Amino acid sequence: MWSKTPLNPNDPGPLPPGWEERIHLDNPRLQNPAITGLAVPYSREFKKKLKKPADIPNRFEMKLHRNNIFEGSYQRIMSVKRPDVLKARLWIEFESEKGLDYGGVTREWFFLLSKEMFNPYYGLFEYSAMDNYTLQINPDSCLCNEDRLSSFTFTGRFAGLATVLGKQITLNDVESVDNEYYNSLKWILENDPTELDLMFCMDEENFGQTYQVDLKPNGSEIMVTNENKREYIDLVIQWRFVNRVQKQMNAFLEGFTELLPVDLIKIFDENELELLMCGLGVVDVNDWRQHSMYKNGYCPKHPVIQWLWKAVLLMDAEKRIWLLQFVTGTSRVPMNGFAELYGSNGPQLFTIGQWGSPEKLPRAYTCFNSLDLPPYEPFEDLREKLLMAVENAQGFEGVD
């Protein structure tokens, strides 16, 4: 049964012919400045640098079959000899379908192709160990044939169309991908690992066969001790998330940087780049509120909880994304809304628990989608402390 949803302020309703195309050319996400705020200067300059050169056509056209969208898009995009051509206005047409692409068909193409491209059953990517909407490169994807690597170049071009940095991966980054792996490494960091008899090597399995990989020269002969455990953890993270997929990542970056040169994206940190590529999205506060749980004395009618949701409603779109990242570790909402949030042990709704004294800031546990919220009063105190916690969490590199 369909339920009536609130009006979306970003949905302008029926529009005259051509209106959507004029807006789409400037910004395909149709962000509302009243909600997101005015673009900062470097954002405008960044978009300006991405505009197509004057000597290429105004449109890049693709005619595709819906039942062959991955292969058709791959052949068309990879046939381009000059990547700058892909900076032109995209014009998508599906076979045997009438209609002009004033942006809507292109957005549908992005949606359909991304579902096909990132489908783990295709073999390029695999689900992370933590949830079913975060993906990582499948380390076995380059073992079949070299053509697989060109698929990653294609994926990189596609990601560039929709819009790494060489940043060192930290232990905190591991938590959002594989919580069990994170906990094991964190235990080693906080304890003496000598009794575990660990060596600077790892076992890797490919197609049923296991072989040993040294994390450093002669690593199989070097024991992990309390003195060198930090080096061991850094090398394990490098192997697990970089070295195993280096060929695929290089192919992806080749396609990505054809459209987005590295020197242009270095101004963004990893969170900003994620927002740049994925867009701010829309956080439906009503959906979030309806699919939340409470504990330790809180309930939906508790004054502090009422004030919390009031504070979220008063946030602009970007602040809501920051809050979402703060409490879940991701800026994305599952495809079917907050009802399908996942935690480290499977489905896990957002949970708010009473904790601490009003002098403390709220704290979050991203692996459990939970927020510990002190009993603030009045409302202004809650709003101030919540924003302070969210803003101070940006860029934190430690282990908590």
What class has domain 19-165+246-278? Answer: alpha beta
pLDDT band for position 174 (50/70/90)? confident
Phi, psi for residue 303 in degrees, rounded to 5:
-55, -40
The reply to whether CATH 3.30.2160.10 applies to domain 171-241 is: yes
Mean pLDDT check: name the lowest of 248-257, 266-275, 305-314, 391-400: 391-400
User: Which of 12-26, 205-219, 297-311, 327-341 ranks highest by mean pLDDT?
Assistant: 297-311
Task: Identify the pLDDT of residue 238.
Answer: 83
**Short-list 125, 121, 112, CA closest to 69:** 112
**Short-list 154, 159, 393, CA closest to 265:** 159
* More reliable by pLDDT, 271 or 117: 117
Q: For a pLDDT cut of 70, what percent of the chain falls above it?
A: 60
125-127/89-94 β-pairing: unpaired
Longest dimension (CA), the chain: 72
Task: Identify the pLDDT of residue 322.
Answer: 87
Give dist(CA 299, CA 293) in Å, integer. Answer: 8
Catalytic residues: 367
Question: In this structure, are residues 324 and 344 in contact, taking their beta carbons and an 8 Å threshold?
Answer: no
At position 186, the amino acid (one-letter code) is K
Task: Identify the pLDDT of residue 391.
Answer: 84
- In eight-state DSSP terms, residue 168 is P
User: Which of 211-220, 234-243, 265-274 ranks highest by mean pLDDT?
Assistant: 211-220
Non-local CB neighbours of 3 within 8 Å, separated by 6+ positions: none
Give dist(CA 133, CA 119) in Å, integer. Answer: 10
Give dist(CA 283, CA 38) in Å, integer. Answer: 19
CATH 3.30.2410.10 in the chain: give the residue spans: 285-393
When pLDDT is averaged across residues 254-276 and rounded to a whole number, the result is 64
Task: Identify the pLDDT of residue 353.
Answer: 96
Summarised one tens digit per residue, pLDDT across range 187-206 is 999 999 998 999 999 988 77
* More reliable by pLDDT, 359 or 135: 359
Task: Identify the pLDDT of residue 232.
Answer: 93
**Short-list 230, 245, 233, 127, CA closest to 178:** 127
CATH 3.90.1750.10 in the chain: give the residue spans: 19-165+246-278
Residue 214 is encoded by which pair of tokens? Answer: 């040294």
* More reliable by pLDDT, 359 or 133: 359
Residue 11 has pLDDT above 70, yes or no: no
Task: Identify the pLDDT of residue 237.
Answer: 86
Summarised one tens digit per residue, pLDDT across range 39-83 is 444 444 555 555 666 777 778 888 888 888 888 888 888 888 777
Q: Which CATH number is 285-393's, of 3.20.20.80, 3.30.1360.180, 2.170.270.10, 3.30.2410.10?
A: 3.30.2410.10
CATH 3.30.2160.10 in the chain: give the residue spans: 171-241
